[in-house]
Amino acid sequence: MDCRVKPGNDAAEITDREKRMPEITVNMAAGRTDEQKANMMRDITQALVTHLGVDPEAVVIQITEAPLTHKMKGGKTFVERAAEQKK
């Protein structure tokens, strides 16, 4: 969530606008269905409404997906990891 504090303000002085407009970016490996992603975004929106008291119309969520060949964990791409699991 991006809640930037404007220069000269301390964390206690975050503006009302910033409190109302949370923007969430989810980074993930490609491969989930559109339905799965939409359901996840709905759940995230509801969590922000419940826990931060924001209006759901103010919540912006963006998913950034990476191909499995462009995402790595433990020194191996997700494609390499999947191939090893099949052995």
Question: 69 Cβ partners below 8 Å, 6+ apart?
Answer: 77, 78, 79
Between CA 10 and CA 71 the distance in angstroms is 36
What six digits make up the tokens of 29? 């490996």
| Bridge partners of residue 66, in order along the sequence | 29
* 56 included as an active-site residue: no
List, by residue number, the catalytic residues: 22
